[in-house]
Structure 1
Amino acid sequence: MPAPDPVADVIVVGGGSSGCVVAARLSANPDRAVLLIEAGPGSSDPGPLGLLPVGPRSDVAATYPVELRPGRSTTISRGRVLGGSGAVNGGYFIRGTESDFRSWPQMWSYSQVLPYFRKLETDRAGDPRWHGDDGPMPVTRIGREDMHPVSSAFLDACEAEGFGYAADLNEPNADGAGPVPLNAVAGRRISTASAYLEPSLARPNLRVRTGIVARRVVFDGVQAVGVEVEIAGERRLLRARQVVLCAGAIGTAHLLMHSGIGPAQHLSALGLPVVSDRPGVGRDFGDHPEVTLAYRPHLRVPRDEHTAVLEAVLETDGIEIRPYTAPFAEIIPGVLDADPRLGVALMRPDSRGELTLRSSDPADPPVIRYRYLTSAADRAAMRSGLDLARGLLTSAAFGRVAAEPRAGSPTEPFENLGTSLHLSGTCRMGSEADRDAVVDDRCRVIGVDGVLVADTSVMPVVTSRGPHATAVMIAERVSALIEGGTSPTHDAQGSGRV
């Protein structure tokens, strides 16, 4: 008896920042049937830039319990809606730097990925050597004269302290203080759902299904044959010739392990069958620890809901200083923290975390341990960053908006520790000879056939900037690799070799 026909040539699992790109690009081939499945709802309207709908009882975010360091537990939220976290975040769209990609496989060097950064964007304000002018994602910046007083005072304070002005933080190795590139227009986020997916929905070979929870990839031997899903409480097998996982660094690693791909000893201990022993699944992920400094406002400035959460940042020596334009209580519904804050984040941390399964039930969230600030170098770097932030906070320039630091502001990095929500690298790419690699340099899962990964989980090391723009680039590149392409067309002026 022949096997039943597949419901699609390709199933894309996860309609987030990467999945929307992959579904749109692959369905441009009219001979390929593409099915995109997303666990969350189908709304692709990201809403105003200055509100983050990820607080308690959010219907567009998934919440996970995590341990930031021993004794410090909290919860984190990730977007669970078409557009993913890019539909609910602050619109920060800074690329990884040229130096970040030196630790990636050669075919992911900066000169190799730059054409895809250019392909994905419309950024007519930047140098055309580095920027595209006809891509789906609009990239904008707030002019200094239009900035919130907190952002303007922060840039003045950085200048007074001798930091250079970085007009374009998306240049290859930009450092200094400058405006944040935003995936936004007129104060509203533009997610990949609205930029890539919506213009493609009329294609007869593209189907998008929301409210579908993927439980595992199903194999015949080592060949993927589809995805087991749950729809309204009923389990079904959706058959496909190829599966592309875009469920994010948490969801993709979780799904692979429940599919039998991961550390064999861990899977066997939970009674899960082992399809491919890949010890690196969930191991040594990266993220950016953040400590915030509260201050007393010198004046209260009315803030529109379309005002970006971050309009400007300082990048220096692996530290990112973030002058939030409003207290978190005004940014995230349900959060009670009413103090304005400066954030201090380590962008090249040594610390590495681990994600493991809690049980054999795919409905149970994974165990996520960040192990932040476990190295002496990370602790020293955080103290240095906090000293720098206090200096800016107490400067004359910032004194226009800040009267003084709050009493009891943390003097050690262990207090008031949080995360930047940039978790990456749970399924890192590498050579097949590397036992800890999960995907090869074409993002094919090692040890099986028919499964690829196209999200931040493949990053060998988390980029030294927030990963959203790099996630979209990864999805563009993997889509092109599936099509058999090597590089989008670009002229000699725009080749941008560094």
Structure 2
Amino acid sequence: MTKTSYDYVIVGGGSAGSVLANRLSEGGTRSVLVLEAGRSDYPWDLFIQMPAALTFPSGNPLYDWRYESDPEPYMGGRRVAHARGKVLGGSSSINGMIFQRGNPMDYERWGADAGMETWDFAHCLPYFRRMENTLAADPDDEFRGHSGPLVLERGPATNPLFQSFFQAAQQAGFPLTDDVNGYRQEGFAPFDRNVHKGQRLSASRAYLRPNTGRRNLDVLTRAFVTKVNFKGNVATGVTYRRNGKLHTVNAGEVILSGGAINTPQLLQLSGVGESKHLKSLGINPVVNLPGVGENLQDHLEVYIQHACTQPVSMQPALDVWRMPWIGMQWLFGRKGPAATNHFEGGGFVRSNEDVSYPNLMFHFLPVAVRYDGQKADAKHGYQVHIGPMYSDARGSLKIKSTDPTVHPSMVFNYLSTDQDRREWVEAVRISRDILGQSAMAPFNGGEISPGRSVQTDKEILDWVAADAETALHPSCTAKMGPASDPMAVVDPIDMSVHGTKGLRVVDASAMPYVTNGNIYAPVMMLAERASDLILGKAPLAAQHTEFYRHGISPLERDKSASQAVRG
């Protein structure tokens, strides 16, 4: 049975919440309660634990909140489905298990904003290293961690289609790289992934479950938080619904870690947001913070699919009659097609000379299938996932009811800017160029999607508007920034919500800009660093390690650094 009062109440047992639960309860002196609205990530649940089963939880109400956007104005009024994990471990229990830090320049961009100086790459790198146990990296690699809770395996990428794809990328003028999470992100390589010994390694499995025996840590599932309680502007606890009854728990501090959709929704329901909007719904404002729910960012992506002329793809593994045998291989040996997420390799490129670091990300799969499990009409196939990584499109999220079970209104404004549309055309053309190289010729059975009828810029954009899906990276809806920034929500110094006391936000909503890859790793890093800030610990020392910058040679970097020192 849970107590009625805790030092810390964490709302959300997902990626960030799992990290915080571990770090804040270390030492046994502080009481911590995690409230997760979803179910437990049972070890016997094959849809969670089996890597290749990742298509099954999405859209399933047992695992997925099943959010969707409002009609998107630049996509013909389409509503875009957004899967979010409704289970312990959050979206890390249902995602594609791809581990991408983002480019170091992403964090240089964070740190360049006023008041954000301590979130540049030098300050973030030590926390990436603290959380990682990178099996494929050299023990002396100063970019990678080797003793953290999150074991990272490198995708084998041994299927001949991967090798031909990497060769084709080089033929198209793009380099290979040793490690997309290391010194040089730009280029193509096998990917790190959250798969260990043939099983999904979610944030819950890595951080939370090994520590649930701590006497000062309680985890409550199926506990749906409906409101943060305030006395004046001081957060005193939360109200949650469980088993049909409302409960109140008091807290020294409340930490919101529900993600970029739930966190701003809960803030608004609790009276923290744009006052005029809150009053229109009959909510008494606690703090007027216009930035709550604004600055919404995401990655949109398409699948460019090809038929394969040789029987080397994983397409046959999608046949229903093969699944019992594939399942048995995994159950009794953690081997076979079910033991991989299949996102074993890809790369990052710059689509034009106006960008200083990669703005496109490729995932290559030796199979032609959509996230919902719908396979292409081909005996064998392969595909790339592609889309712009730091679009300047911005959306917003607003509650439309005081009922916490009603999903908020969300508009992402995909394809709304000249930059976004330009980069989409470049993304599709570059993908086709790579897939059309001679290295892929022995396997190329022709493009299935979008198909030969899509050629002009307008046709490409029309196809993207009709067919693109979210890459499931919603973020930035309660961005970090100083109080002087009227749209900032979270103080970058201690993760507190501006204008309140005893309330913090630690999840993807606090990111100021989306990073140029999958956001799971950045969220985990953010939570690692936030745990030290919350506890008042001295942050890990900044690590000023030089990283690859396009167009700047090592000699030029050394000269610039020397001049800076002399200056």
What is the TM-score when the length of structure 2 is the normalising length? 0.82
Query: Partner letter of residue 308 of structure 1?
Result: N
Distance between the aligned counterparts of 1:30 and 1:357, measured in 2?
Answer: 38
Distance between the aligned counterparts of 2:436 and 2:442, measured in 1?
Answer: 10
Residues 171/407 of structure 1: CA separation in 2 closer, same or farther (3 Å cut)? closer
> How many correspondences in the alignment?
487
| Corresponding residue of 1:61 | 64
Q: Please give the residue correspondences for 1:198-277 in structure 2 after superposition, counting only pairs within 5 Å.
A: 198-277=209-288
Is 1:445 the counterpart of 2:497? The answer is: yes
Is 1:310 the counterpart of 2:362? The answer is: no
Residues 444/497 of structure 1: CA separation in 2 closer, same or farther (3 Å cut)? farther
Structure 1 residue 372, shift from structure 2 partner: 0.6
| Corresponding residue of 2:201 | 190
| Corresponding residue of 2:364 | 323
Distance between the aligned counterparts of 1:78 and 1:227, measured in 2?
Answer: 22
Distance between the aligned counterparts of 1:338 and 1:203, measured in 2?
Answer: 51
Contact kept in structure 1, 2:305 and 2:450, CA below 8 Å:
no
Structure 1 residue 187, shift from structure 2 partner: 3.0
Query: Partner letter of residue 481 of structure 1?
Result: L
| Corresponding residue of 2:100 | 94
Contact kept in structure 1, 2:195 and 2:340, CA below 8 Å:
no
Structure 1 residue 69, shift from structure 2 partner: 2.7
Distance between the aligned counterparts of 1:467 and 1:125, measured in 2?
Answer: 21
Cα deviation, 1:472-492, whole Å, max 9, x if unaligned, reads 0011011111111233479xx
SS at match of 2:515: coil
| Corresponding residue of 2:33 | 35
SS at match of 1:229: strand
| Corresponding residue of 2:523 | 471
| Corresponding residue of 2:474 | 423
Structure 1 residue 162, shift from structure 2 partner: 2.2
Gap runs ≥5 in structure 1: none
Distance between the aligned counterparts of 1:169 and 1:390, measured in 2?
Answer: 22
Give the CA RMSD over aligned residues. 2.0
Match of 1:126 among 128, 131, 137: 137
Residues 408/470 of structure 1: CA separation in 2 closer, same or farther (3 Å cut)? closer
SS at match of 1:471: helix
Structure 1 residue 6, shift from structure 2 partner: 4.7
Query: Partner letter of residue 414 of structure 1?
Result: D
Structure 1 residue 428, shift from structure 2 partner: 0.1
The answer to which of 294-303 and 112-121 deviates more is 294-303
SS at match of 2:387: strand
Structure 1 residue 165, shift from structure 2 partner: 0.7
Distance between the aligned counterparts of 1:48 and 1:6, measured in 2?
Answer: 37
Cα deviation, 1:193-237, whole Å, max 9, x if unaligned, reads 111111111110000000000111100111111111111121111
Percent identity for Structure 1 against Structure 2: 31
SS at match of 1:305: helix
Match of 1:72 among 70, 78, 100: 78
SS at match of 2:146: coil
Distance between the aligned counterparts of 1:169 and 1:487, measured in 2?
Answer: 26
Query: Partner letter of residue 7 of structure 1?
Result: S
Distance between the aligned counterparts of 1:123 and 1:68, measured in 2?
Answer: 41
Cα deviation, 1:398-422, whole Å, max 9, x if unaligned, reads 2333311127534413321221111
Match of 2:166 among 148, 155, 158: 155
Distance between the aligned counterparts of 2:544 and 2:512, measured in 1?
Answer: 25
Structure 1 residue 114, shift from structure 2 partner: 0.7
Structure 1 residue 394, shift from structure 2 partner: 2.0
Is 1:285 the counterpart of 2:296? The answer is: yes
Cα deviation, 1:293-326, whole Å, max 9, x if unaligned, reads 2322223434412232311112011111222232
Contact kept in structure 2, 1:296 and 1:405, CA below 8 Å:
yes
Structure 1 residue 122, shift from structure 2 partner: 0.4
| Corresponding residue of 2:407 | 365
| Corresponding residue of 2:20 | 22
Residues 76/178 of structure 1: CA separation in 2 closer, same or farther (3 Å cut)? same
Q: Which has the higher helix share?
A: 2
Distance between the aligned counterparts of 2:537 and 2:174, measured in 1?
Answer: 41
| Corresponding residue of 2:322 | none
Structure 1 residue 186, shift from structure 2 partner: 2.7
Residues 407/195 of structure 1: CA separation in 2 closer, same or farther (3 Å cut)? closer
Distance between the aligned counterparts of 1:486 and 1:172, measured in 2?
Answer: 26
Q: Which has the larger radius of gyration?
A: 2
Contact kept in structure 1, 2:295 and 2:479, CA below 8 Å:
no
Contact kept in structure 2, 1:394 and 1:405, CA below 8 Å:
no
Cα deviation, 1:271-307, whole Å, max 9, x if unaligned, reads 1110011101111211112122232222343441223
Query: Partner letter of residue 201 of structure 1?
Result: T
Distance between the aligned counterparts of 2:183 and 2:12, measured in 1?
Answer: 30
Is 1:486 the counterpart of 2:488? The answer is: no
Distance between the aligned counterparts of 2:450 and 2:107, measured in 1?
Answer: 40
Is 1:48 the counterpart of 2:90? The answer is: no
Is 1:343 the counterpart of 2:356? The answer is: no
What is the TM-score when the length of structure 1 is the normalising length? 0.93
Structure 1 residue 51, shift from structure 2 partner: 2.1
Residues 153/235 of structure 1: CA separation in 2 closer, same or farther (3 Å cut)? same
Contact kept in structure 1, 2:365 and 2:383, CA below 8 Å:
yes
Q: Please give the residue correspondences for 1:366-445 in structure 2 after superposition, counting only pairs within 5 Å.
A: 366-406=408-448, 409=451, 410=454, 411-415=459-463, 416-441=467-492, 442-445=494-497
SS at match of 2:29: coil
Q: Which has the higher strand share?
A: 1
Distance between the aligned counterparts of 2:87 and 2:260, measured in 1?
Answer: 16
Distance between the aligned counterparts of 1:485 and 1:37, measured in 2?
Answer: 25
Query: Partner letter of residue 150 of structure 2?
Result: M
Distance between the aligned counterparts of 1:64 and 1:270, measured in 2?
Answer: 21
Query: Partner letter of residue 321 of structure 1?
Result: F
Match of 1:136 among 137, 144, 149: 149
Cα deviation, 1:419-441, whole Å, max 9, x if unaligned, reads 11111100000001111000011
Distance between the aligned counterparts of 2:412 and 2:167, measured in 1?
Answer: 35
Query: Partner letter of residue 353 of structure 1?
Result: G
Contact kept in structure 2, 1:393 and 1:404, CA below 8 Å:
no
Cα deviation, 1:434-482, whole Å, max 9, x if unaligned, reads 1100001121100110011111100100011111101000110111111
Cα deviation, 1:327-382, whole Å, max 9, x if unaligned, reads 336x645x465564322110011111111112121110011111011111111111
The answer to which of 153-162 and 239-248 deviates more is 153-162
Structure 1 residue 172, shift from structure 2 partner: 4.8
Structure 1 residue 495, shift from structure 2 partner: 6.4
Query: Partner letter of residue 95 of structure 1?
Result: R
| Corresponding residue of 1:297 | 308
Distance between the aligned counterparts of 2:162 and 2:277, measured in 1?
Answer: 47
SS at match of 2:253: strand
